[in-house]
Amino acid sequence: MLAEIPYFMNNNEWYYYDESGNPVQNEWVEQYYYIGEDGKMVRNQYVDRFFVSQYGNWNPRFEAPYWLMHGEWKKNGNVWIYQYNGIVQTMDFSQIRSICRLGYDTSNEKTPPEQSKEAYRLAAEKGFTIVLCDLCFTKDHVPVCFHDEYINRIARDQSGQELEEEIRISDLTYEDTIQYDFGIYKGKSYEGTHLLKLEEMLELAQQLNLELYIEIKAGSKEEIKQAVELTKQYDLKLSWAGTKYDECSAVVEADDTARVSTMPRMIRDSEIEELLSLKRENNKVFFFTYDTAMLTDEVLSKLKKEGIPFEMGTIDSEIEIVNYLTENYQYCTGIESNKIVAANIDLDQVLQD
């Protein structure tokens, strides 16, 4: 990664320059390296509650929970209070929105297929009240819940065999998809699982009283508007997340009351301004992104000032969720997970482990 950035070394210290040739100061570079006030790459210390190694790079997955070794926890009823080096944070895990990704623990060979009715029902049984589905479209513009560009990872032919040629979901009509099995890869008990239409997902969420996240994977502006209009027929709490600004804009154009999010890998002034441009009188905007989207104190202050919630994923370890919410961020309102409901985290047990 270093080779991709304009830099030079002097007396064993690294210095960086931006695209205009100006020296970088007090700034994260490519998410993983921090340049200090003196223009040198910071090494072997904490920056904005993130630890950078002796080589200057930040590891998003901490090898050891720093908060556990140095911080102090106190319990007040169901609320935990964490203190370290002047930082005081109140933790009420029941207030963290837990979003189940694609159905309950679908990477487990013993659970139902991803984005199937069975997987979402299991998520509800396990205590999730919010679930996430992906949105893309078939060749004949039918909105379906599917993660990949190609169907090959989970689709099988009528004999249950893997497909020999790569097939894009956008090259198939919905009727074409019926010839494939989207469940047998998980075992004979799921044989005959079809591709879930968005309409079916909406009906299921309404039946199970679930809040629904819709992450846009692909689709034209008109297709996305069509999907938004479809959701209006259901009495549901909804959130929309798009990796592209045009996707989010299409949602807002179709419904100016929609709760909508962009999904940046870094949060800077430009990303905040872009998100705020989606704000309307009666809608809500938020960031739904990844644990690499580091919140510096400066960014955190701006999010609080603008009233922008921050929700992220995916984390499947209780200790990582606790570590994330304490050491890294003080402003995270939701965690996406395959299997962990934040409200069910037993901090006593986590600390013992």
CB burial of residue 333 (10 Å; 0-12, 13-18, 19+): middle
Residue 14 has pLDDT above 90, yes or no: no
pLDDT tens-place string over residues 20-45? 788 888 888 766 788 888 888 888 76
Question: Do residues 36 and 43 make contact, with C-beta atoms less than 8 angstroms apart?
Answer: no
Mean pLDDT value of segment 217-225: 97
Amino acid occupying residue 51: F
Mean pLDDT value of segment 296-309: 84
Whole-model pTM?
A: 0.80
Name the nearest CA neighbour of 84 among 318, 296, 327. 327
For residues 18-47, one letter each, b for 16 or more C-beta atoms within 10 angstroms of the residue's C-beta and e for the rest, the string is: eeeeeebeeebbebbbbbeeeebbbbeeeb
pLDDT band at 1 (very low <50, low <70, confident <90, very high): very low
- Other residues' Cβ atoms within 10 Å of the Cβ of residue 211: 17
Mean pLDDT value of segment 312-334: 80
Residue 3 has pLDDT above 80, yes or no: no
Residue 158 has pLDDT above 70, yes or no: yes
Residue 245 has pLDDT above 70, yes or no: yes
**Per-residue pLDDT, 177:** 98
Q: What is the CA radius of gyration of the chain?
A: 22
Please tell me the distance from the alpha carbon of residue 180 to that of residue 194, in angstroms, as a whole number: 8
Residue 55 has pLDDT above 70, yes or no: yes
Is 327 in a helix, a strand, or coil?
A: helix
Which of 125-129, 233-237, 292-296 is predicted with the least confidence, judged by mean pLDDT? 292-296
Residue 323 has pLDDT above 80, yes or no: no
Token pair in block for residue 7: 């830099």
Residue 64 has pLDDT above 50, yes or no: no
Average pLDDT, the chain: 87
Longest dimension (CA), the chain: 66
Residue 228 has pLDDT above 90, yes or no: yes
Residue 328 has pLDDT above 90, yes or no: no
Q: Who wins on pLDDT, 298 or 281?
A: 281
83: β partners: 72, 88
Which 8-state DSSP code applies to residue 63? S
Residue 231 has pLDDT above 90, yes or no: yes
Residue 59 has pLDDT above 80, yes or no: no
Residue 48 has pLDDT above 70, yes or no: no
Mean pLDDT value of segment 45-71: 60
